[in-house]
């Protein structure tokens, strides 16, 4: 128990139900290749993992530091394009992937530092608008530099041979599962996301993380007691950007493709905001819960509505209401209900209920 406590940086879920839910989700994601056979299910699990890292990195910025930024997808896209461009120009191989990630991280570091300088003079909604303008400009640039980025069509590339579907680690199936390059790629994503998530837990529970929370609550008071808030805000933005870059690289490795719609679109930014609100801001665990719930709803809500519409045959109004084409309507309804019943997010609500039961 003490080892687990250290692993979680002494930041326990603080709710039995939340601990059970997180354990169930972690086991489900770790064993997804065995539990959920099929390319779609494994693809959904991989997307969940990528979004856990992406949303957790944004929660460091929004939930812990109190900074609203709309440039997060830009760093997400930089990571994806870094891997794609390096793999198409330098050929398939781990060397090209590592070079692409290194260049993407360097570019994200530079851009996040430049954006962080805006916080010297611009705050709140004005800072958010600046980040939105920068992200929109970068998306336009990626669409127009077709010789480098593939334009609107994006880039398709090959992974290193040991991450390709044709690769076989062992010839015989293990517990009914063929350990091929696709499965290895999934477990690579799982391992990287797990390590970086635990590192983020360590960051937010360190003295540095406490200062970030103090800045979120009252930046003038934090400045008054001696903390250089601009430095802490900038470092928080840089860390968040670098983690988003890694998430983009992992998505590119999984899809073996990247384009403006898969990483740079404003819809992805809206998804990140929705997941943060659903899971709970300033918790990190909310990134896990919110990503699982949102991505599952996004991919399987249409299938559930199709079953409901089939069950409602003979009742025209209900059949039309449960039409799979209206899945976005139902997703919006579910989001409104979740915000109404869980204003502090799922994690915040479960923690509040657990605290209320304690004597």
Task: List average pLDDT for each run of 10 residues in the chain, which is 359 residues long.
Answer: 76 88 94 87 94 96 90 94 92 88 95 80 76 89 87 88 81 81 93 95 92 88 86 92 96 92 90 92 92 91 82 75 79 82 86 82
**334-347 pLDDT, tens per residue?**
888 887 878 888 99
Cβ atoms 37, 203 nearer than 8 A: no
What pLDDT is recorded for position 359?
A: 65
Q: What percent of the chain has pLDDT over 70?
A: 98
What distances in angstroms separate CA 35 from CA 10, 38, 175, 186, one per listed residue?
Answer: 31, 10, 11, 14
Tell me the chain's radius of gyration from C-alpha atoms: 21
Q: Domain of 172: which CATH number?
A: 1.10.3470
What pLDDT is recorded for position 11?
A: 80
**59-107 pLDDT, tens per residue?**
999 999 888 889 999 999 999 999 999 999 888 888 899 999 999 999 9
What is this structure's pTM? Answer: 0.93
State the total domains in the chain.
1
Token pair listed for 28:
């489900």
271: containing domain: 2-357
Cβ atoms 54, 75 nearer than 8 A: no
Token pair listed for 191:
């391992």
């Amino acid at each position: 128990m003490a080892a687990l406590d250290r692993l979680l940086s002494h930041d326990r879920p603080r709710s039995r139900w939340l601990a059970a839910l997180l354990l169930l989700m972690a086991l489900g994601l770790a064993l997804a290749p065995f539990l959920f056979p099929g390319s779609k299910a494994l693809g959904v699990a991989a997307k969940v993992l990528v979004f856990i890292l992406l949303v957790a990195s944004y929660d460091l910025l929004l939930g812990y530091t109190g900074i609203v930024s709309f440039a997060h997808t830009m760093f997400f896209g930089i990571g994806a394009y870094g891997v794609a461009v390096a793999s198409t120009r330098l050929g398939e191989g781990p060397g090209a992937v590592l070079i692409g990630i290194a260049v993407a991280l360097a570019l994200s570091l530079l851009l996040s530092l430049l954006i962080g300088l805006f916080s010297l003079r611009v705050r709140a909604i004005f800072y958010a608008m600046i980040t939105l303008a920068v992200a929109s400009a970068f998306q336009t640039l990626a669409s127009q530099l077709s010789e480098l980025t593939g334009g609107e069509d994006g880039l398709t590339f090959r992974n290193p041979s040991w991450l390709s579907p044709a690769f076989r680690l062992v010839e015989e199936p293990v517990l009914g599962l063929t350990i091929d390059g696709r499965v290895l790629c999934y477990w690579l994503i799982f391992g990287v996301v797990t390590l970086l998530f635990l590192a983020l837990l360590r960051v937010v529970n360190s003295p540095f993380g406490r200062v970030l929370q103090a800045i979120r609550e009252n930046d003038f008071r934090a400045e008054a007691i001696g903390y250089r808030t601009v430095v802490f805000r900038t470092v928080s933005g840089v860390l968040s950007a670098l983690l988003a870059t890694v998430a983009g690289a992992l998505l590119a490795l999984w899809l073996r493709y990247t384009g403006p719609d898969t990483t740079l679109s404003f819809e992805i930014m809206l998804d990140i905001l929705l997941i943060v609100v659903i899971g709970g801001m300033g918790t990190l665990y909310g990134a896990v819960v919110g990503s699982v719930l949102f991505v599952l709803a996004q991919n399987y809500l249409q299938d559930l509505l199709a079953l409901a519409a089939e069950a409602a045959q003979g009742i025209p109004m209900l059949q039309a209401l449960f039409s799979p084409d209206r899945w976005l309507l139902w997703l919006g309804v579910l989001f409104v209900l979740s915000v109404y019943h869980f204003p502090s997010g799922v994690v915040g609500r479960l923690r509040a209920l657990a605290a209320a039961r304690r004597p």
